[in-house]
């Protein structure tokens, strides 16, 4: 567990750089990158929701479960809702290549 915890700052930095690069490309409205970033963000947010739901369901399959506090339950619900909103915003956005064709 100590090796995993020591690698967390590096993992956080990598994901921060990915999010910054994605936001910068979306801000510049680069037509080529909009589609790629759209699909990547959809995959990332959808995969996070699925992983969280699977992990939560695996907790309650067996009889031995560690209880979650009310604050942790609330944080997980907000986390799942936020990532679901991100997923459906990118999923339901109609034809981004034409919408961003103002350049």
pLDDT tens per residue across span 72-97 = 888 888 888 988 988 888 788 766 66
pLDDT of residue 77: 87
The angle, 0 to 180 degrees and rounded to 10, between the axes of the packed helices 2-28 and 31-59 is: 150
Per domain, the residue ranges of the chain are 2-99
**Does 102 have pLDDT greater than 60?**
no
Residue 63: phi and psi, rounded to 5, are: -80, -25
Buried b (16+ CB within 10 A) or exposed e, 2-27: eeeeeeeeeeeeeeeeeeeebeeebe
* Strand runs labelled E in 4-67: none
Nearest to 49 by CA among 91, 94, 9: 91
Distances (CA, A) of 23 to 26, 33, 102, 103: 5, 11, 18, 18
| Cα–Cα dist 19/57, whole Å | 28
7 pLDDT band (50/70/90 cuts)? low
55 pLDDT band (50/70/90 cuts)? confident
pLDDT of residue 99: 60
- Model confidence pLDDT, tens digit, residues 60-71: 776 666 677 788
């Amino acid at each position: 567990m100590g090796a995993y915890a020591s690698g967390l700052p590096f993992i956080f930095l990598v994901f921060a750089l990915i999010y910054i690069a994605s936001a910068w490309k979306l801000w510049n409205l680069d037509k080529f990158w909009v589609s790629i970033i759209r699909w990547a963000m959809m995959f990332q947010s959808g995969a996070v929701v699925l992983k969280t739901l699977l992990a939560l369901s695996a907790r309650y399959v067996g009889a031995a479960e560690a209880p979650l506090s009310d604050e942790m339950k609330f944080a997980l619900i907000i986390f799942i809702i936020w990532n679901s909103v991100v997923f459906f915003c990118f999923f339901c956005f109609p034809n981004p290549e034409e919408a961003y064709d103002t350049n």
